[in-house]
Amino acid sequence: MTAWEQLFGFMFSQRALLAASMIGFVNGYLGGYVVLKRSSLFAGGLTHTLFPGIALGAILAGLNPVSALIGAVFMALLAGVGATGIAAVSRVDRDTALAILYTAAFGGGLLALERLGLYVNIENYLFGNILGVTRMDLWFVYIAGGLTMALLILFQRPLLLYVFSPDAAASQGVPVKTIGYGLAVLLVVNMVLSLQAVGTVLTLGLLIAPAAILYLFSNSVRVILWGGGLLGAVIAVGSVVLSVLHDIQTGPAIVVILGVLFLLAFCLSPVYGLMAVIRKRGHMR
């Protein structure tokens, strides 16, 4: 069997390639806002709330994309609002409170699923299995991904004002808190549609790395957002190709390739990377 037949001769591989292109693009584009806002730690906290949310949805309505989405959004908002509330009335900052809440919720999800005998069924949601994408999963990926992109493009101006200068945004009448919560909801929706590709454990890498790589080379918002989307899509699709042809796991392949590219970008970036540091030290001598 030729490589072409392996990639396009089976429905499961065709669905995987289609899902990877949308998942990679939306992650790369949305991750640009996270990188520009410097809120990767908060996004990381949200990824850990996905698992207990999925567990809650599975317990109440069975394991499927809709129950996973509803449960994940509920738990992410609960943890996010709870952490913000704790930070507002105590000396503990939001990231510290979120770290405690999401790890406790993660452990609670593990215990609940183990108790109910659902742990095996949820393994793919932890580490991803894009080759197992069903037709219903593909519809969900494209509908949720399309809506996410539409909202990001429609509200690009207030989002960028919120990212770069929340005070200026507020002075111009932008509802900063609403925009912040809306971005968090879009992050959670995006993370849920990414579960099949990289799972809850690895999803942060696909979200952050493409934009971070371009951020080392460019100051252009358009390059970081759209370029991040294209880079995410190319790496995700390429990783599916590697998975089909060489029998390796797609999720780990995606984040490993992106990690290597990030390290190369850090070393080779002439302005913001290691090369710039070496050149500056050479001039100082």
Closest to 130 in 3D by CA, of 28, 18, 271: 18
**Per-residue model confidence as pLDDT tens digits over 20-75:** 999 999 999 999 999 998 877 677 777 777 778 877 887 777 767 677 778 877 88
**Per-residue model confidence as pLDDT tens digits over 161-176:** 888 888 888 888 888 8
Question: Amino acid identity, residue 194?
Answer: S
pTM for the full predicted model: 0.85
Split at pLDDT 50, 70, 90, the class of 283 is low
Q: Is 169 helix (H, G, I), strand (E, B) or coil?
A: helix
Q: How many residues belong to the chain?
A: 285
List of long-range contacts for 181-186, beta carbons under 8 Å, 24+ apart: 181/77, 181/80, 182/151, 182/155, 183/33, 183/159, 184/46, 184/76, 184/77, 184/80, 185/73, 185/76, 185/77, 186/30, 186/148, 186/151, 186/152
Give me the residue label for tokens 């095996």: 120
H or E stretch at 159: helix 156-164
**What are the structural domains, with CATH classification, of the chain?**
3-284 (1.10.3470.10)
Residue 210: pLDDT over 80: yes
Gap between the Cα atoms of 32 and 159, Å rounded:
11
**Per-residue model confidence as pLDDT tens digits over 86-134:** 877 888 887 788 778 878 877 887 777 776 666 555 666 777 778 888 8
Residue 263: the pLDDT is: 94
